[in-house]
């Protein structure tokens, strides 16, 4: 596992504590508690998987009742598919953390990631919570980043200082994810914090907009997790006027910065996709609306035949053409479509481009970062999705996941 090389800016009002509670079999850090200063505002998005994990249900309920004072995250166990006992265990975890911090249980949001269908080892959690709290530090981002990892090979963190209408604002975020990646709301797990002063409604819209152009645009394998969640916390401690209008330049600047941070975190997940050897951008241009652009992009990005060709560095353009054709776009004029590998045109006028050569296609496919562009030429909308190839290691990692 690689070490975090990004310098993380501390966020005033955010303290992170991490420990190894022996939930993971390898003895690596697996319990993280994030304490948030009084007055902080938090918004979150969660998985739309019907079999959502117990912590997702508990976190949703708690967030509807109070602003969180703490987040508690365990890795190594998803607490999903665990029925009533899973709910009891998630609530008990919040109760233990709340008792230590002197807040109400509904001011603690639980998050879990790991193996589905196994009960939380509550004895390990109970003994680990005081240790994690003892390690609370405003500089605790690197340790927390490691503590939320499962099959990740590299930690994923982004931190930057941005100027909002002449005022300095800090943003730091971490995420985890490598497999079971096809979000339908957010990322596998992502936690972003800022010291910005902003209203709840503006914060909510900012998160929604950012997630839509970042975590909702990545896919490794088409599997939406039971545990996906993403939070955005604003501690209100920056020296600045409150951002209270979505029409203001301050909001636009801030929202753009949050979207950039989350996009970078999302792309890190793709680059660390299980067994991935390629980072693939699927760009669909000239659609009538976002829906049809995304249909086409996902048809290509999720195709096992396209993904295995990418792993083999095989310019088998017929697989891309076939995926576009089965995307379900109505009244598709195949003669109007152009397909590109990098800057090499591979398809036009319903067939292979006259200018295309196998050597040119091969030169693109030999690259690590590849862009597949599909020009529909039926509108003005553009959408992008990021994905990976499928390698032998993807099968191996997932076949041996519980061993």
Length of the chain equals 403
Residue the block writes with tokens 């499928």: 390
Contact 201, 242 (CB under 8 A): no
Whole-angstrom CA distances from 209 to 42, 261, 263 are 15, 12, 11
Check if the beta carbon of residue 197 is closer than 8 Å to that of residue 294.
no
Distance, CA of 98 to CA of 113 (rounded, Å): 21
Q: How far apart are CA 368 and CA 106, in angstroms?
A: 46
Cα angle, residue 34 at apex, residues 131 and 402 outer, rounded to 5°: 70
Cα separation, 214 vs 3, in Å, equals 24
Count of CB atoms situated within 10 Å of the CB of 402: 10
Its sign, for the CA torsion 129, 6, 13, 188, is negative
Classify the C-alpha dihedral 159-8-231-292 as positive or negative: positive
CA 277 to chain centre: 19
Selecting among 42, 82, 187, 373, the annotated active-site residue is 187
Whether 187 is catalytic is: yes
Three-state secondary structure call for residue 395: helix
For residue 95, CA distances in Å to 86, 208, 349 come to 14, 29, 64
Picking from 370, 180, 195, 172, the residue whose alpha carbon sits closest to that of residue 264 is: 172
User: Which residues touch 248 (CB under 8 Å, ≥6 apart)?
Assistant: none
- The 8 Å CB, 24+ separation contacts for 327-334 are 327/292, 327/295, 327/296, 327/298, 327/299, 327/300, 328/295, 328/299, 329/292, 329/295, 329/296, 329/376, 332/376, 333/377, 333/378
Residue 219: how many CB atoms within 10 A of its CB? 23
Residues acting as catalytic residues: 187
């Amino acid at each position: 596992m690689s070490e975090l090389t990004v310098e993380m800016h501390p966020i005033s009002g955010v303290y992170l504590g991490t420990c190894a509670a022996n939930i993971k079999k390898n003895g690596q850090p697996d319990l993280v508690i994030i304490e948030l200063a009084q007055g902080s505002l938090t918004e979150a998005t969660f998985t739309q998987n019907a079999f959502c994990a117990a912590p997702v249900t508990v976190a949703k309920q708690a967030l509807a009742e109070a602003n969180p004072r703490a987040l508690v995250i365990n890795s190594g166990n998803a607490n999903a598919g665990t029925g009533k006992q899973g709910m009891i265990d998630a609530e008990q975890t919040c109760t233990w953390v709340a008792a230590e911090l002197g807040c109400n249980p509904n001011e603690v949001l639980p998050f879990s990631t790991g193996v589905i269908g196994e009960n939380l080892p509550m004895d390990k959690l109970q003994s680990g919570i005081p240790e994690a709290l003892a390690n609370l530090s405003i500089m605790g981002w690197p340790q927390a980043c490691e503590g939320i990892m499962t099959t990740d090979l590299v930690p994923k963190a982004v931190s930057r200082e941005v100027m909002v209408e002449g005022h300095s604002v800090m943003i730091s975020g971490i995420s985890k994810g490598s497999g079971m990646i096809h979000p339908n709301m957010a990322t596998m797990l992502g936690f972003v914090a800022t010291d910005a002063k902003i209203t709840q409604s503006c914060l909510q819209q900012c998160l929604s907009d950012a997630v839509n152009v970042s975590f909702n645009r990545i896919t490794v394998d088409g599997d939406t997790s039971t545990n996906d969640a993403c939070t955005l916390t604003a501690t209100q401690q920056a020296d600045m006027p409150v951002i209270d209008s979505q029409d203001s330049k301050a909001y636009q600047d801030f929202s753009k910065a949050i979207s950039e941070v989350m996009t970078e975190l999302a792309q890190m997940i793709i680059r660390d996709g299980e067994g991935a050897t390629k980072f693939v951008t699927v760009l669909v241009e000239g659609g009538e609306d976002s829906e049809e652009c995304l249909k086409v992009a996902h048809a290509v990005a999720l195709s096992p035949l396209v993904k295995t060709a990418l792993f083999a560095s095989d310019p088998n353009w017929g697989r891309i053409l076939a995926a576009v054709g089965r995307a379900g776009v109505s009244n598709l004029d195949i003669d109007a479509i152009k397909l590109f590998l990098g800057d090499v045109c591979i398809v036009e006028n319903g067939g292979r481009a006259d200018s295309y050569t196998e050597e040119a296609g091969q030169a693109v496919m030999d690259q690590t970062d590849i862009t597949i562009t599909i020009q529909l030429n039926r509108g003005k909308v553009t959408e992008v999705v990021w994905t990976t190839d499928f390698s032998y290691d993807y099968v191996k990692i997932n076949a041996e996941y519980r061993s």
